[in-house]
Amino acid sequence: MHKIETQFGGRRLTFETGRLAPQAHGAVVVSYGDAVVLGTVVMSKPFREGLDFFPLSVDYEERSYSIGKIPGSVFRREGRPPLAGILASRLTDRPLRPLFPEGMRSEVQIILTVLAHDHAVETDVIGTIAASAALMISGIPFEGPVAAVRVGLADGEFSLNPTIQENAEGDLDLVVAGTRDGVVMLEAGASEIDDDKMIQAITWGQEQLQAAIDLQLELRDLVKPEPREAIMELPDPAIAPAIEERFGDAIAEAMRVTDRSERSERMHSIQDEAVEVFAEQYEAGDVGVAMHDLEGAYARRAIVIDNVRPDGRAEDEIRSLSAEVGVLPRVHGTGLFQRGETQVLSVVTLGTMRDEQKIGLSDLEELVGPKRYMHHYNMPPFASGEARRLGGPRRRETGHGALAERALLPVVPPQEEFPYAIRVVSEVLSSNGSTSQGSVCGSSLALLDAGVPLRSPVAGISIGLVTADDGSVKVLTDIQGAEDHFGDMDFKVAGTERGITAIQLDIKVKHLTAEIVETAIRRGRDARIKILEVMNGAISEPRSDVGEFAPKIVKTQIDPEKIGAIIGPGGRTIRRLEADTGASIDIEEDGTIMVGAPSRDGSDQALQMIKDMTGEVDAGRTMLGKVTRIFGFGVMVEFLPGREGLVPRHEIAEEPPNMIEDVVNIGDDIMVMVIETDDQGRVNLSRRAVLQGLSVEETRASATPAPPRGGRGGPRREGRGGRRDDRGRNGGRGGRGRRDY
C-alpha cells in the first residue's frame, strides 16, 4: 500500500493505492479535500477479431451515496448516467486517447467512481487525474501522465479548481488537460473573454497542472509496475510502398478532386483494384489500412508542402456561407445555417419556467439552480450519406449539444429580463466538418428569430492542424471532413465580436505547443467576425416580440402575505384560475408571479384576475360571479377565484325581493358590478346596476336603504347566517365575506 500527497490549488491532493480494488490492473483512490474518486483500469483482449480501432472506454459513475442521498427512482438505485456523467466521461477520454500507442487493439476499460463528494469542487477533473494515475501504475502501454485542472476567473484574477459556486458566478470555466510538454485537451465556457486573456488562462492552467503530474510520477516510481503486453496490429510496412508504386499517380490524381463524393468514389475504386492486384500477397483488410494511410499521407503532403487543400481553399479561407431565418411555420423560431456542405437547421421552442430541466443527481441544482436554457444536437445518418440504425443520442451528440449550449449561454438574457425556458434543437442535415459550430451559428439565428433578446449574436469556427512526415505543420481555418479525419487537431472556438464564449480542443498528436494554441485562437477570431457579418445580413436584432404561437409570459409582483389568497386551500384557487384562463401560474416566495398562456389575451386575463384577487378591484367593472351563500341581508358572490363580495338585498334585483331564493340560489351564475372596496378590503357588488344599465354613481344615488336588522348577522333564513358551517375557508367568524348591514 502506498499513499502520497501534495498541496494543489489550496487543497490537499492525495493518491492511495493497494487498499481498494486489488484485482484491477491499476487502481488509485484520489482524494481532493473531502472529494474521493476511485480510478480503475483493466486491459483485456479485444472483444472481437479484426478491429480497426482502439477499443478504449471511459465511464464516470457518480453514486448517490457520495452526496448523502437515496436515488429518487422507483427502484431506488442509479440508472443510466446523467448528462453530467456523460460529459465527465468524455472529459477524461479525450486527453487520454492520443497517448496510447498507434495500432493498439487490446480493450482498455477505465471506470471512475465518485465515492464521496464534498459539495465544493467538481470531481470531473479529479476523475481525469485518477484515470491517468491508474494507467501509470498498471503497466499498460501509455505515454502519460496526464493531469487536468479547472481555471476560473473573477475580478481579473485566475483561480485553480474554484468551488462550484465560484465557478457559476465567475467569468470563465476552463478545463486544461496536459502532459509535461504541452496541452492535450481544452474545454471552456466564458463570458466573452478576449483572446489575450484566454491565452493567458490556458498557459496558467498548463503550469498549474504540473504538480499533479509530479505526484503521478512519484507514485509510479513507488509502485514500479511490470509492463503488460498489449495486442498491436500494424500493417506490413511493405504494403504501402508496393501500393504507392503501382497506384501512386492514381491516388495523387484522385486527391486533387475537390468534390468530396467524387474523390471518395475514386479512392474506393483504387482500393478495390489494389485488393484484387495484391490478393495473393496481402489480406484485404491490410490493403485497406495501407490505402487509408497513403490517402492521409498524400493529403497532408498536399496541404503542408504544396499549400493545396482538398477543396482548393487558402489556409485561412472560409467556405461559402449562407444564413436564413423564419424557415418553418408555427414553430417559435428557426435558423438555417450552411457552410460549404455542412448544413444545420436550428429550431427554438419557448416555454414557461415549469419547463426548466432539473439537473438531477448531483448537488449542482442546489447551488446554481435548474437549467433554463437547453441545447440538443441531432445528427441522423443521412447527413453523411449513410444508412444505420437510429437510436438515442450518442456521446458525441451529447457533447456537441453541450458545447453549443455553453457557447450561447453567456448571451442569453437572465430570467428577470426574459422569463422563458428556452430549448434549441439543432438538426444536422448535411455534414462535412464542423457541424457543432454550425449548430452554434444556426442557434444564434433561431434565437433572434424567436424574439430572444441576446446580448450579441454568436458564431463558431473550427481550426485544424496538419503535420507532414517531416514535422512541418500548417494551421487551417474552417476544416472540412477530410482535413478533420487526416489532420491532427480540431480546435473549436465560438464567440461574439467582443470575445470568446466557448472552446473545445481535441488532438491526435501527443501535445500542442503554446504557439499553435495562440495561432488557433487568433485565427478563430478573424473567422467568426466574417461569419457574423453574413449572419447579421439575415437578422441582426431580435424580433420585437415572441412569435404568434409562442406562449405569452408576463410578470407581476404581489405582497408575499397575499400568496395564500392566490393558491387557496389545497391549491384549489390557483388550479381554478389556471383552468378558467388556460394559463400556467408560477409563484416565488418573494411574491414574484409568472403567468404564461398560449395567447396574449389569456395571460392578460390571468394577470388581471391576480391583481384583482390581491388588490383593490376597480369600481364599475362588470363580472360574472357565482352565488356561494345566502343571508337575510343579501348574498355572497365569488366574482374571482377565491374572492367574494356582497350583493345587498336591495341590489339583487330591480326591486328588493321578499324572498331572495325567488331570484337567486346558491350555485347560480349572475352578472355583478363592483360598486366599491371599503377600507378593510371588502367588496360591495350590485346586480341591479347591471340589470338597469346604471353607472356606479347612479347606483349609489338610487340605492334603497336596507331595512334595519337586529343582532349579529341579521335574522336567520332557514337556519342560515350564523352557523359554524357558514364560516369562510379560514374559519373566521361569520364567513370570509360576511358584513353587518
pLDDT tens string 614-632: 877 889 999 999 999 999 8
If you average pLDDT over residues 60-68, what whole number do you get? 90
Task: Classify domain 2-223 by CATH architecture.
Answer: 2-Layer Sandwich (3.30)
Q: Which helix (H) or strand (E) holds 397?
A: helix 395-408
- Cis amide leading into 657 (omega within 30): no
Using one digit for the tens of pLDDT, what is the confidence trace for 368-420? 567 899 999 999 999 988 899 988 888 999 999 999 999 999 999 998 899 99
pLDDT at 270 exceeding the cut of 60: yes
Record: fold of 552-614: Ribosomal Protein S8; Chain: A, domain 1 (3.30.1370)
For residues 424-432, average pLDDT: 96
CATH 1.10.10.400, domain 239-304, yes or no: yes
Q: What is the per-residue pLDDT for 385?
A: 86
177's grid cell? 488537460
Phi, psi of 175 (to 5 degrees): -105, 125
Q: Is the pLDDT of residue 677 over 70?
A: yes
Reading phi first (left if > 0) and then psi (alpha if -120 to 50, else beta), residue 376 is in beta
E strands along 579-657, which residues? 584-587, 592-597, 622-631, 634-640, 643-648
* Cα–Cα distances in angstroms (integers) from residue 81 to residues 68, 85, 89, in the given order: 18, 5, 10
Residue 686: name the closest of 637, 739, 741, 740 by CA.
Answer: 637
C-alpha cell at 658: 321578499
Q: Do residues 177 and 148 make contact, with C-beta atoms less than 8 angstroms apart? A: yes
Cβ neighbours for 507, distance < 8 A, ≥ 6 positions apart:
98, 184, 185, 465, 488, 489, 490
Residue pair 489/328 in contact (Cβ under 8 Å)? The answer is no
Distance (Å, whole) CA 580 – CA 602? 9
Q: Place 449 in a pLDDT band, splitting at 50, 70 and 90.
A: very high
Distance CA 385, CA 261 (A): 10
Q: Burial-class residue 335 by CB neighbours within 10 Å (0-12, 13-18, 19+).
A: buried
Position 734 confidence tier, pLDDT thresholds 50, 70, 90: very low
Residue 711 pLDDT class (50, 70, 90 cuts): very low
596-620 per-residue burial string, b: 16 or more CB within 10 A, e: under 16: bbeeeebbbbbbbbbbbbbeebebe
Choice among 44-53, 56-65, 148-157 with the minimum mean pLDDT? 44-53
- Whether 121 has a pLDDT exceeding 50, the answer reads yes
Report helix, strand or coil for 342: strand
Reply yes or no on whether the pLDDT at 738 is more than 50: no
Mean pLDDT of 187-205: 97
Q: Which of 388, 385, 432, 430 lies closest to 265, judged by CA? A: 385
Q: How many CB atoms lie within 10 A of CB 705?
A: 6
Same CATH topology for 2-223 and 622-726: the answer is no
pLDDT (tens digit per residue) in 325-357: 999 999 999 999 999 999 999 999 999 888 787
CA–CA separation, 105 and 229 (whole Å) = 11
- Least-confidence region, from 1-10, 397-406, 545-554, 709-718: 709-718
| Reported pTM | 0.83
The more confident residue out of 367 and 546 is 546
* Sign of the Cα pseudo-torsion (354, 355, 359, 365, in order): negative
- Pull the grid cell for residue 402: 453541450
> Is residue 399 helix, strand or coil?
helix
Q: Return the pLDDT at 366.
A: 52
Whole-number Å distance between alpha carbons of 170 and 473: 36
CA distances (Å), 455 to each of 170, 358, 405, 448, 554, in order?
Answer: 18, 25, 15, 10, 21
More confident residue, 371 or 437: 437
Which residues are 26's β-sheet partners?
A: 41
- Percent of the chain that is helix, strand, coil (3-state, to 5): 35, 30, 40
Q: For position 283, what pLDDT does the model report?
A: 86
At residue 712, does pLDDT exceed 60? no
Domain locations along the chain: 2-223, 239-304, 321-538, 552-614, 622-726
Query: Is a pLDDT exceeding 70 seen at residue 721?
Result: no
CA–CA separation, 370 and 358 (whole Å): 5
Question: Is 3.30.420.480 the CATH classification of the domain at 622-726?
Answer: no
> Which range is most confident: 28-32, 81-85, 575-579?
28-32
One DSSP character per residue, 536-562 reads HHH-SS--SS--TTSPEEEEEE--GGG
Number of H helices, E strands in the chain: 18, 27
What is the C-alpha separation between 657 and 506, in angstroms, rounded?
85
Using DSSP's 3-state secondary structure scheme, residue 693 falls into coil
pLDDT reading at 714 higher than 50 = no
Q: Which three cell numbers stand for residue 211?
A: 504538480
Confidence grade of residue 580 (pLDDT, cut at 50, 70, 90):
confident
What pLDDT, on a 0 to 100 scale, did the predictor assign at position 17? 97
Q: Are the C-beta atoms of residues 626 and 669 closer than 8 Å to each other?
A: yes
Q: Is the pLDDT of residue 565 over 90?
A: no
Residue count of the chain, please give it. 741
What is the per-residue pLDDT across 229-264, written as a single tens digit (0 to 9) for each?
999 988 888 999 999 999 999 998 898 888 878 888
Give the pLDDT of residue 369. Answer: 63
Gap between the Cα atoms of 26 and 141, Å rounded: 12
pLDDT at position 622, please?
Answer: 93
Tell me, what's the pLDDT at 727?
36
Q: How far apart are CA 119 and CA 124, in angstroms?
A: 13
Residue 735: is its pLDDT beyond 80? no
Show the cell assigned to 485.
479525419
Whether 416 contacts 557, CB under 8 Å: no
Distance separating alpha carbons of residues 279 and 223, to the nearest angstrom:
48
Tally Cβ neighbours within 10 Å of residue 389.
5
Domain 321-538 has CATH 3.30.230.70: yes
Task: Tell me the pLDDT tens digit for each residue of 147-166.
Answer: 999 999 999 999 999 999 89
Please choose, from the candidates 608, 737, 621, 640, the residue with its C-alpha nearest in 3D space to the C-alpha of residue 680: 737
The gap from C-alpha 732 to its chain's centroid, in whole angstroms, comes to: 49
pLDDT tens per residue, range 494-553: 999 999 999 999 999 999 999 999 999 999 999 999 999 999 999 999 999 998 899 998
Whole-Å CA distances, 395 to 81, 129, 130, 405: 11, 21, 21, 15
Quote the CA–CA distance of 503 and 54 in Å, as a whole number. 26
Q: Is residue 726 classed exposed, middle or buried when 0-12, 13-18 and 19+ CB atoms within 10 A define those classes?
A: buried
